[in-house]
């Protein structure tokens, strides 16, 4: 899980969320009539978070990446694509059933893959909620382990130890298949920088030039691949600092 800076709230949501939220609050929060009897409203059937103006703004913020595990999802073509499992979902970070007042809060939306969305379901621990990819403090508690492709806690301190445990259980953050993909993606990306640096140290050599150009193209292609986008962007920043000679070469090639 990498930090993702949330984009601007869509105007459609901002202008209508109070009106849209009322029926959800009425359904989930207990109301009584004048005689003390419990009034139960019909469950709302609206899902305005799937409106393209809302959903595509969220996709833009998350670069098509699942906020929890980082996998890239195909871009939906239209609102009805929400039913197609390989495409992403608008996940309510805090569950609607427990926090109905957040049903149409922009800050409560996380772009999520099918697997994480299903695994998380309606899970919501009021005291120890799962980590939030749009909360910098939450993300700073995590450390990426390149040898395994998994995330662990940088410091095993409360309450983050329990929040991390809930995140690990309730999402696909450290699922084996995803961790392997993540590890391989980062290792391959790092190898391009390391190889170019090694070849540059050889000096002016016509045999090296084609290999250097090949790896420059590979870096460019990798940066255009949005799978684990935010992790790769973080690694790129570190690698550019570590290999200034490679950075200069990339800049000369418009990268």
Q: Report whether pLDDT(39) > 70.
A: no
| pLDDT one-digit tens code per residue, 191-240 | 999 999 999 887 766 778 889 999 999 999 999 988 999 999 999 999 99
34-38, 72-76, 109-113, 198-202: range with highest mean pLDDT: 109-113
Residue 7 has pLDDT above 80, yes or no: yes
Tell me how far apart the alpha carbons of residues 62 and 177 are, in angstroms, rounded to a whole number. Answer: 21
Mean pLDDT of the chain: 89
DSSP annotation string for 191-239: HHHHHHHHHHHH-S-TTHHHHHHHHHHHHHHHHH--TTHHHHHHHHHHH
The two structure tokens encoding residue 25: 């609050």
Tens of pLDDT, residue by residue over 15-29, are: 999 999 998 998 887
Q: Is the pLDDT of residue 78 over 90?
A: no
- % of the chain at pLDDT higher than 90: 74
pLDDT of 118 higher than 80 = yes
Name the pTM for this structure.
0.86
* Greatest pairwise CA separation for the chain in angstroms: 91
CA distance 221 to 8: 29
């Amino acid at each position: 899980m990498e930090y993702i800076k949330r984009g601007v709230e869509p105007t459609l949501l901002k202008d209508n969320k109070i009106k849209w939220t009322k029926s959800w609050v009425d359904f989930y929060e207990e109301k009584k009539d004048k005689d003390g009897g419990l009034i139960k409203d019909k469950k709302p059937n609206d899902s305005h978070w799937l409106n393209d103006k809302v959903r595509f703004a969220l996709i833009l913020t998350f670069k098509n990446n699942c906020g929890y595990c980082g996998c890239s999802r195909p871009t939906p073509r239209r609102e009805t694509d929400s039913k197609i499992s390989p495409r992403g979902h608008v996940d309510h970070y805090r569950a609607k059933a427990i926090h109905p007042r957040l049903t149409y809060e922009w800050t409560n939306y996380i772009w999520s893959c099918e697997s994480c969305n299903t695994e998380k379901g309606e899970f919501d621990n009021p005291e120890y909620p799962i980590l939030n990819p749009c909360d910098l403090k939450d993300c700073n508690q995590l450390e990426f382990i390149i040898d395994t492709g998994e995330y662990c806690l940088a410091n095993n301190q409360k309450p983050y130890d329990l929040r991390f445990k809930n995140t690990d259980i309730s999402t696909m953050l450290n699922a084996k298949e995803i961790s392997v993909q993540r590890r391989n993606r980062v290792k391959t990306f790092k190898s391009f920088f390391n190889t170019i640096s090694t070849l540059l140290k050889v000096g002016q050599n016509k045999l090296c030039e084609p290999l250097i150009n090949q790896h420059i193209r590979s870096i460019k292609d990798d940066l255009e691949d949005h799978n684990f986008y935010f992790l790769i962007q973080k690694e790129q920043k570190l690698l550019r600092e570590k290999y200034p000679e490679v950075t200069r070469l990339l800049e000369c090639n418009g990268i």
